[in-house]
Amino acid sequence: MNKNGNRLDKGEVHRAFYVLSRQIGLRAAGVSRGPRLHDFRHRFAVETLLRWYRNGEDPERRLPVLSTYLGHAHVTDTYWYLTGTPELLGAAESGWKRDGRVNAGR
Protein backbone atom coordinates (compact mmCIF):
# COMPACT_ATOMS: atom_id res chain seq x y z
CA MET A 1 0.00 0.00 0.00
CA ASN A 2 1.15 3.52 -0.63
CA LYS A 3 1.32 6.30 1.95
CA ASN A 4 -2.34 7.14 1.26
CA GLY A 5 -3.47 3.58 2.02
CA ASN A 6 -4.17 2.72 -1.60
CA ARG A 7 -2.69 -0.11 -3.60
CA LEU A 8 0.52 0.68 -5.42
CA ASP A 9 0.37 1.29 -9.11
CA LYS A 10 2.91 -0.13 -11.51
CA GLY A 11 4.81 3.15 -11.83
CA GLU A 12 5.22 3.50 -8.06
CA VAL A 13 6.56 -0.04 -7.77
CA HIS A 14 9.07 0.50 -10.58
CA ARG A 15 10.25 3.83 -9.18
CA ALA A 16 10.74 2.29 -5.74
CA PHE A 17 12.73 -0.56 -7.29
CA TYR A 18 14.96 1.87 -9.20
CA VAL A 19 15.67 3.83 -6.03
CA LEU A 20 16.39 0.69 -4.00
CA SER A 21 18.51 -0.86 -6.75
CA ARG A 22 20.72 2.24 -6.74
CA GLN A 23 20.96 2.24 -2.95
CA ILE A 24 22.16 -1.37 -2.81
CA GLY A 25 24.47 -1.11 -5.83
CA LEU A 26 22.53 -3.06 -8.46
CA ARG A 27 22.30 0.06 -10.61
CA ALA A 28 24.86 2.86 -10.74
CA ALA A 29 23.69 6.39 -10.03
CA GLY A 30 22.87 8.28 -13.22
CA VAL A 31 22.71 5.12 -15.33
CA SER A 32 19.44 4.56 -17.13
CA ARG A 33 19.94 0.84 -17.69
CA GLY A 34 20.20 -1.93 -15.18
CA PRO A 35 18.22 -4.81 -13.72
CA ARG A 36 14.45 -4.62 -13.94
CA LEU A 37 11.85 -6.25 -11.72
CA HIS A 38 10.86 -8.40 -14.66
CA ASP A 39 14.41 -9.80 -14.77
CA PHE A 40 13.87 -11.38 -11.34
CA ARG A 41 10.71 -13.07 -12.61
CA HIS A 42 12.60 -14.43 -15.62
CA ARG A 43 15.44 -15.70 -13.43
CA PHE A 44 12.94 -17.41 -11.11
CA ALA A 45 11.45 -19.29 -14.07
CA VAL A 46 14.88 -20.39 -15.34
CA GLU A 47 16.07 -21.44 -11.87
CA THR A 48 12.88 -23.44 -11.33
CA LEU A 49 13.48 -25.36 -14.57
CA LEU A 50 17.12 -25.97 -13.64
CA ARG A 51 16.07 -27.32 -10.25
CA TRP A 52 13.63 -29.70 -11.92
CA TYR A 53 16.29 -30.97 -14.32
CA ARG A 54 18.79 -31.43 -11.48
CA ASN A 55 16.22 -33.34 -9.41
CA GLY A 56 15.40 -35.65 -12.31
CA GLU A 57 11.87 -34.26 -12.65
CA ASP A 58 10.20 -33.89 -16.04
CA PRO A 59 10.09 -30.12 -16.78
CA GLU A 60 7.63 -30.62 -19.61
CA ARG A 61 5.17 -32.28 -17.21
CA ARG A 62 5.81 -29.67 -14.48
CA LEU A 63 5.59 -26.58 -16.71
CA PRO A 64 1.87 -26.02 -16.00
CA VAL A 65 2.79 -25.67 -12.30
CA LEU A 66 5.29 -22.91 -13.08
CA SER A 67 2.86 -21.27 -15.48
CA THR A 68 0.13 -21.17 -12.85
CA TYR A 69 2.53 -19.83 -10.22
CA LEU A 70 3.53 -17.01 -12.58
CA GLY A 71 -0.16 -16.22 -13.12
CA HIS A 72 -0.30 -17.17 -16.78
CA ALA A 73 -3.59 -18.25 -18.31
CA HIS A 74 -1.82 -20.50 -20.83
CA VAL A 75 1.37 -22.56 -20.60
CA THR A 76 2.49 -21.02 -23.89
CA ASP A 77 2.67 -17.65 -22.12
CA THR A 78 5.42 -19.10 -19.93
CA TYR A 79 7.69 -20.12 -22.81
CA TRP A 80 8.77 -16.50 -23.27
CA TYR A 81 10.64 -16.62 -19.95
CA LEU A 82 12.54 -19.75 -20.80
CA THR A 83 15.25 -18.38 -23.05
CA GLY A 84 18.16 -20.68 -23.63
CA THR A 85 20.81 -19.94 -21.05
CA PRO A 86 23.91 -22.12 -21.46
CA GLU A 87 23.24 -23.81 -18.12
CA LEU A 88 19.59 -24.47 -18.96
CA LEU A 89 20.45 -25.84 -22.41
CA GLY A 90 23.05 -28.15 -20.87
CA ALA A 91 20.58 -29.39 -18.26
CA ALA A 92 17.95 -30.01 -20.94
CA GLU A 93 20.42 -31.95 -23.09
CA SER A 94 21.47 -34.08 -20.11
CA GLY A 95 17.82 -34.80 -19.34
CA TRP A 96 17.12 -35.78 -22.93
CA LYS A 97 20.11 -38.11 -22.99
CA ARG A 98 19.06 -39.68 -19.69
CA ASP A 99 15.51 -40.18 -20.97
CA GLY A 100 16.71 -41.63 -24.28
CA ARG A 101 15.28 -38.78 -26.34
CA VAL A 102 18.62 -37.89 -27.98
CA ASN A 103 19.40 -39.97 -31.08
CA ALA A 104 16.01 -41.69 -30.78
CA GLY A 105 15.18 -40.76 -34.38
CA ARG A 106 18.35 -42.27 -35.86
User: For 30-34, what is the mean pLDDT?
Assistant: 82
Pick the range with the lowest mean pLDDT from 21-25, 88-92, 94-98.
Answer: 94-98
Output the pLDDT for position 105: 42
- Per-residue pLDDT reduced to its tens digit, 3-18: 888 888 899 899 999 9
The model's pTM: 0.69
CA-based torsion, 1, 41, 77, 34: positive or negative: positive
- Per-residue pLDDT reduced to its tens digit, 42-63: 889 989 999 998 898 988 899 9
Cα–Cα distance list, 59 to 16, 27, 53, 81, 96 (Å): 34, 33, 7, 14, 11
d(CA 16, CA 11): 9
